[in-house]
Structure 1
């Protein structure tokens, strides 16, 4: 393939014929002929330029915690941002914390508390990277989400390769949504507005209390979610004031299976893999649940999980 050797010589890690099921939390995904792992902005731009000149469709992925992927030979390449600009967070000594998009949210929660910074403990219960979290406004409850703490996000515009920054209010956050989802961009880094744990005689007490709260986040996730089975987390945007899991219980669909995809018996808002689930099994279950909820409740469910197929709207060109 023209240009691949040049990219490799530039120090870019390239993997060939990679099975995405070995990366995704749902354990779904066929084979892509190329997966790139850029480590800095220059490498990222080189890869994007190559995909455009080669007319290759591509998708941006990270930890792949929130995606179900089609099987077979996939007609796109992957730019994996999990190793991008992987440096420790930078604290300005006052209120602002700068974090690269590839930093894992769970790791950031621990880093903050170890550095006497409070505010992001809720991230301990969320898998995935900071960039993905900003993209989908990850969080638990009101006041425990990206929207509450984010100052701004820096991104690469794929249309002209320019770097820009958007402020929190410009991102139009709502539940599991940011304006970034409608833009042709790659998130590079972001900044958070946080507070230091006061340096007084109660400091040790406060730090231990925050650590206890983080452990409680972990226990809550472990007790309420089927974390031992392949899944992509909550499947649908909650149709407030309704609860998808509750509706599925009313319809006696808990445990229902299509192929290897099952409506979780532990948390019906999840689709889990119980027998070598494929992306197609997952897609079929999503459609089935949408149909049943529409028939019985006249509600249109919107997936918050990324459903990645050949030739769909998630692909870049």
Structure 2
């Protein structure tokens, strides 16, 4: 089966930030054979490429970009597989929001918090997506299967070897493409108490949806929270102290609703987003002697 390919793709059509210039080609592999064949061809032709999913957490430079895109949003998106009522195998391209509803529908508890996380399971594993401790990938993931791009072999790492911390996994330091995750689940029994637990999970889905709508600027382009929280400090609080809430550079603005977000208010470009990131980092460094680390991937910019 031929890999679906688009040419002269404007990435601003796909990214949540509505930023990004044009790539020559974007590929949509749907299985492992297609993925391996594609990468071997790109390597043979000395083509640079970036691996992306739903592009919810990226800001990308404008203009003609010097890389192709392997889009994993259609990779193994068939329904998750439950093994022995305990282990859930999920393809990298499956959306986390969809997984939240799927798990509750099939009377599995634990993943309702994913309702508030945009993006795919693969991206979620890569960055240890989540909210609070206990509501994150590292709490439920047993192991991850990935393609090692150096050896072109499929490998597996257990949870303990992934070196999870806030918005980090060791996968970020490796040359890999995530293929699937295996999660440890709790099956809700068909009993009176089990039915109460099921109702509680449904209530949690509604709660997380309302929390996201209430606290996040979902009506504007953004990549979610911009920086890794420098515990115990709070980025939004520091920006309020510095009276920078609402501050803009080009079309990028420090969100008035949630200052931890950078939002697009007037045709924001990737350069606008990046410039505002650099400005915030400089001000926080000067005022608080703290080095902020972006959560958002910024691609295609000149050093």
TM-score range, shorter chain: over 0.9
Cα contact 1:74–1:310 (8 A) shared by 2: no
Moved over 6 A (4+): none
Rounded Cα–Cα distance in structure 2 between residues aligned with 1:311 and 1:101: 30
- Say which SS state the counterpart of residue 240 (structure 1) adopts: coil
**Secondary structure of the corresponding residue to residue 202 of structure 1:** helix
CA RMSD, 1 decimal: 0.9
Give 3-state SS (helix, strand or coil) of 1:277's partner. coil
| Structural mapping, 1:38-187, within 5 Å | 38-187=29-178
Tell me the alpha carbon deviations over residues 103-127 of structure 1, each in whole angstroms, 9 at most, x when there is no partner.
0000000000000111101000100
Paired residue secondary structure (1:190): strand
- Secondary structure (helix, strand or coil) at the match of 2:190 reads coil
Where does residue 315 of structure 1 map in the other structure? none
C-alpha deviations, 1:46-97, integer Å up to 9, x for none? 1101111111110000000000000000000000000012210000132100
**Alignment counterpart, residue 291 of structure 1, candidates 261, 278, 282:** 282
Q: Give the secondary-structure state (helix, strand or coil) at the position aligned to 2:196.
A: helix
Alpha-carbon distance in 1 for matches of 2:248, 2:194: 51
- Could you tell me which runs of 5 or more consecutive residues in structure 2 were left unpaired when the two chains were aligned: none
User: Contact conserved, 1:21 with 1:28, CA < 8 A, in 2?
Assistant: yes
- Does the CA-based 8 Å contact 2:60-2:301 persist in structure 1? no
Match of residue 236 from structure 1: 227
Contact 1:75–1:310, Cα closer than 8 Å, also in 2:
no
Q: 2:197 aligns with which of 203, 206, 224?
A: 206
TM-score calculated relative to the size of structure 2:
0.98
In structure 2, distance between residues paired with 1:193 and 1:69: 35
In the alignment of these two chains, the number of paired residues is 303
Is 1:230–1:273's contact at 8 Å kept on the other side of the alignment? yes
Aligned match for 1:216, one of 207, 222, 225: 207
- The unaligned stretches of length 5 or more in structure 1 are 1-9, 313-317
